[in-house]
Amino acid sequence: MKSRPLGRSGLSTAPLIFGGNVFGWTADEATSHRLLDAFVDGGFNAVDTADVYSAWVPGHEGGESESVIGRWLKAPGGRNGGKRDKVLILTKVAMWPRQPGLSAANIEAAVEGSLKRLRTDYIDLYQSHQDDADTPIDETLTAFDRLVKAGKVRAIGASNFSPERLRASLEMSKVKDSARYETIQPKFNLIDREQVEGALADLTQAEGLGIIPFYGLAAGFLSGKYRTEADFEGKARARTILRDYWNDRGLAVLAALDDAAEAVGASQAQVALAWIMAHPAITAPLASATSVAQLDELMGAARLELPAEVWKALDAAGRV
């Protein structure tokens, strides 16, 4: 497994990033810590979270995922002692209703909360979770620049930005000679491709940004476990899948995944993620797991090399 640079930040990651939205939610704390241990033991080094995770859960208020990670980082003993030096911690600001937006005041307050919950004195990649049209770009970037210069943040990134707003931010960083966004997080998988392929890919290539996409398995659709209408019964994500993927294009991709999985001796989920990892525009995708068995499958995708003809067949199916 080769590490891949996160833009020009000097940070690099293995070709898979653990999506920490599940920590303290669908994976309890003990399970989350086992997952993190297994992830590092597997040779991976980047964990992505956000201050808002998991405020949407009844009884939660936000910050749960960061807190779980922080207690793992500080847990004594164990085979992964000195964990902080082994991992890149990626977190985000702007989407938590308690601390919304990208004003300087909010960024400066939010980062202190994240540092406290994560039990660390620096964040490797601090990301704007969503755009904030009500705050001047200059104000946001100046606040981030102060954090970088203070050593509280090593690099900054963006998530859910349009190519136009990302370009405007990069241009402002050049004018101000300030910290710039080194990464972008868009939705991307074999079916959802419009956020990456085109203007965003052209911009990131020209500027040397890393792309770390989410939704790699399309809400589980690309795992191959949804084959008949009966498979949707009692599934929370069924409505999303039926609306967005249960159509001729989605079924064509599933058929191509079946052929590819048989050809390389891997699961459909592994093939779907391996296709993303091999995409020339992508640095590393985010993926989540709630059991060590699931995580082992995801990590296997990073070790899977798709023959060129298999990758091209999948690519063509996703363009139908």
CATH number of the domain that 73 lies in?
Answer: 3.20.20.100
In this prediction, residue 54 carries a pLDDT of 95
**pLDDT, tens digit (0-9, with 9 covering 90-100), for 263-309:** 999 999 999 999 999 999 999 999 999 999 999 999 999 999 999 99
Question: How confident is residue 320, by pLDDT bands cut at 50, 70 and 90?
Answer: low
- Is 224 within the bounds of a domain? no
128-153 mean pLDDT: 98
Tokens 């004195």 correspond to what residue?
A: 121
The CA distance from 84 to 74, in Å, is 8
The residue from 53, 126, 181, 215 that is catalytic is: 53
Residue 117 lies in a domain: yes
**What pLDDT was estimated at residue 230?**
76
Q: Is residue 269 part of a domain?
A: no
Q: Considering the domain boundaries, does residue 104 fall inside one?
A: yes
pLDDT of residue 1: 78
pLDDT at 16: 97
Structural domain range at position 26:
4-185
Integer CA distances (angstroms), 105 to 126, 140, 148, 158, 268, in order: 15, 9, 16, 18, 45
* Domain-located, residue 257: no
| Percentage above 70 pLDDT, the chain | 97
Is 181 annotated as catalytic?
Answer: no
Q: Is residue 168 part of a domain?
A: yes
pLDDT of 233 reads 74
Give the mean model confidence (pLDDT) for residues 231-242.
71
pLDDT at site 80: 56
CB 20 within 8 A of CB 49: yes
Q: Is pLDDT above 80 for 235?
A: no
Q: Is residue 158 assigned to a domain?
A: yes
pLDDT at 81: 62
Within a 10 A sphere around the Cβ of 262, how many other Cβ atoms?
A: 11
Domain count, the chain: 1
Encode pLDDT of 14-33 as tens digits: 999 999 999 999 999 999 99
Amino acid identity at 222: L
Q: What is the model's pTM?
A: 0.95
Residue 114 lies in a domain: yes
